[in-house]
Amino acid sequence: MPVIRDVMPAFELFQPTSVSDALGLLDRHRADAWVMAGGLDTFDWLKDRIKRPRAVVDLTFVGELRGIRDAGGGLEIGALTTLTDVVGHPLVRERFGLLAESAALVASPQIRNQGTIGGNVSQDVRCHYYRAGWPCYRAGGNICYADTPTAVNREHAIFDADRCVAVSPSDTGGALVALDAEMVIRSAGGERVVRAEDYFVGPGIDITRTTALRPGELLTAIRIPATWAGAQFYFEKIRERQVWDFALVSVASALKTSGQTIDEARIVVNAVAARPKRLRNVETLVRGRARDEETANAAAAIATDGAEPLRHNGYKIPLVQNLVKRAIRGATEWTS
Amino acid sequence: MDFVSWGRNPWEETVLIRISWDLFWAALVGGILFLLAHGGYMLFSAYRPKEDHEVDTLEKAHGHLPSTIERHSFVARAFHWVMAFSMLALVFTAFLPVVGVRFAWVEWHWWAGLLLTASIVFHIIHTTVFLDFWSIWVGPKDIPEARIELMRELGKPVPPDAPKPGKYPLGNRLYHLAVLLAGLAVIATGLLMMFRVRTNLVPRDPYIMSDAAWGWTYVAHGVAAVSFVGLIIAHIYFALRPEHLWLTKAMIFGRVSRRQYLSHHDPSRWVVAKAAGEAKEPHAAV
């Protein structure tokens, strides 16, 4: 196991004050650069000497990446906006309580004060084998230590594993997928916008990365369209330590209803795959049905279709089913 | 340039991981440079094909032969194209992600590998039971033929009784040997690697071999795979060269003309049944 050292390893530190400067640095250093926002995922990697970037681009002083703006009934959130600011912003609470709820359940108040929403959706997976620095698939090797007959894999994936079985640790990721958010990605060559669902990348597509970000690119903002503003939301996160932990399973749902009938639904579960997983089969099933116990049970029954639990994470099957049931049955408004 | 990549396993042992992708680029660039060099050489080559009057003489002597002759049976052609499809699928699914094209390639890759394995098993049985197994092999007996080929390449006159190939020219047989070695290596290691992915065909267990053995398995698989990059470039290049198009057409339609047969082959080594134009097929080409 790696030993956390008291001192940082040597690297060249850059602290740009504008997005264009940051993009210039990222373009110059490409794969040798490490983007640091709140630093909460960064320092473990660097102090453990697992990741050895030559250049660290610290975004702390790029003020234009902070803030939440109205965008035609939706919102545009700067990637460097802290989770505390997201939780407390009146427009977020009014329109997209789902996002506020999920951000409020990230780690501890201290971490939310420091951590950014861009960092929360871009952080690396939390597999302890991978973070130990061993040559697993995700680290560029040829084995998954978490998917062996003797592995400890309570926290790992039950869906869509492809060699690697690590899961996405992002609490806000599931909510953003449910809200049909878009991620604004900029590079020296221009800007591209990807759907939140496509921002998260599974191991089948790219086993060494968790996001669509390529070397030289920077997530600058998250846009949430007005589509789901004021819908009926439900977020629940199951974790072992209630005060501060990553999710074992979480569910984020958004429903639009007419009376008791569900018109439209987004159901996303997370910490069960390498990316937040939309349960499209459940969404299709509940559309047009009454929001009642019968529909909730029917949704739960198909929520884990295709799941393949590992040796120690079979408990996630009933957990997903119950969380989906509660999301359908659940509160008619934001739960906190 | 690196040849292999290394890692440290949980027991603090240095272990092989796989080949370096530098080798893929080397194979790609090497293959392209080869075809440019060969293409350039052929523009100015003094290669001496058979004169028309030589072939005319042969046609008079073998006028009893049918006008077209079967070179590849339907079964042999079907094998060739199934194998070609699986090879291309394997190479593209393996290396497109390396060059940055991202897609879920693993399942396509091992399905293509199984198709290749099945086609090769069929090929071995087919050639062993139904065809002349040894006609495609290379040995010391081929040295005179190689010498004559070299003389032709250099534009030197060759004696009328110079040895000619049977059904398969020497280059064809050497290529088959290279594909055989790389193919068996990639299949054997690929089948072992099935134990490292989820397939529903074999129980996943990465601990059936030691880390060191796995490292060598991945390296052997990678070396064979990048060899195929060069081999496939060369194969497609030669198949599309104007002087070889008649062979490529034969792999599609199955037959060659009597003149092509007499011009390029030794009728005593590739014997054609006189009545039906059905050649006694020694081996299915690759």
Mean pLDDT, each 10-residue run in order, chain A (336 residues): 72 98 98 96 90 96 97 97 98 98 97 98 96 93 92 96 96 98 98 98 95 97 98 96 93 96 98 98 98 96 97 97 94 44
Please give the DSSP secondary-structure letter assigned to residue A251. Answer: E
What's the pLDDT tens digit per position in B136-150?
A: 888 888 888 888 888
Q: In this structure, what token pair is assigned to residue B64?
A: 């009893």
Is 80 exceeded by the pLDDT of residue B14? yes
User: In terms of Cα–Cα distance, which of B175, B186, B150, B164 is closest to B237?
Assistant: B175
What pLDDT does A331 receive?
A: 56
CA distance A302 to A284: 11
- CB atoms B207 and A150 under 8 Å: yes
Q: Taking a C-beta distance cutoff of 8 angstroms, is the pair A175, A182 a contact?
A: no
Hey, of A130, A142, A213, which one would you mutate to test binding to chain B, going by the most B CBs within 10 A of its CB?
Answer: A142
What pLDDT does B181 receive?
A: 96
What pLDDT does B286 receive?
A: 47
Q: Taking a C-beta distance cutoff of 8 angstroms, is the pair A254, A163 a contact?
A: no
What pLDDT does A300 receive?
A: 97
Interface of B with A in 141-160 (CB under 8 A): none
- Within A225-312, strands assigned E span 232-238, 249-258, 261-270, 277-278
- CB atoms B196 and A145 under 8 Å: no
How far lies A194's CA from each of A199, A213, A233, B47, B246, in Å?
A: 6, 10, 23, 57, 50
Q: What is the mean pLDDT of chain B?
A: 89
Residue with tokens 């440019």: B36
Q: In this structure, what token pair is assigned to residue B22?
A: 């530098």
Is 60 exceeded by the pLDDT of residue B194? yes
Listed in sequence order, the residues at least 6 apart from A41 whose beta carbon sits closer than 8 Å to its beta carbon are A119, A123, A124
Interface of B with A in 71-110 (CB under 8 A): 97, 102-106
What pLDDT does B48 receive?
A: 66
CA distance A237 to A270: 9
What pLDDT does B219 receive?
A: 97
What pLDDT does A176 receive?
A: 98
CA B88, chain centre distance (Å): 12
What pLDDT does B280 receive?
A: 52
What pLDDT does B284 receive?
A: 44
CA distance B178 to B220: 15
What pLDDT does B166 receive?
A: 83
Listed in sequence order, the residues at least 6 apart from A283 whose beta carbon sits closer than 8 Å to its beta carbon are A265, A266, A267
- Give the mean pLDDT of B261-285: 68
What's the pLDDT tens digit per position in B61-112?
A: 888 888 899 999 999 999 999 999 999 999 999 999 999 999 999 999 999 9
- Give B150: exposed, middle or buried? Use CB within 10 Å, 0-12, 13-18, 19+: exposed
Q: Taking a C-beta distance cutoff of 8 angstroms, is the pair A285, A277 a contact?
A: no
Is 80 exceeded by the pLDDT of residue B277? no
How many Cα atoms occupy the beta-carbon half-sphere of B176 within 13 Å?
Answer: 21
ipTM score of complex: 0.83
Q: Which residues of A touch B12 (CB under 8 A)?
A: none
Q: In this structure, what token pair is assigned to residue B19?
A: 């080949």
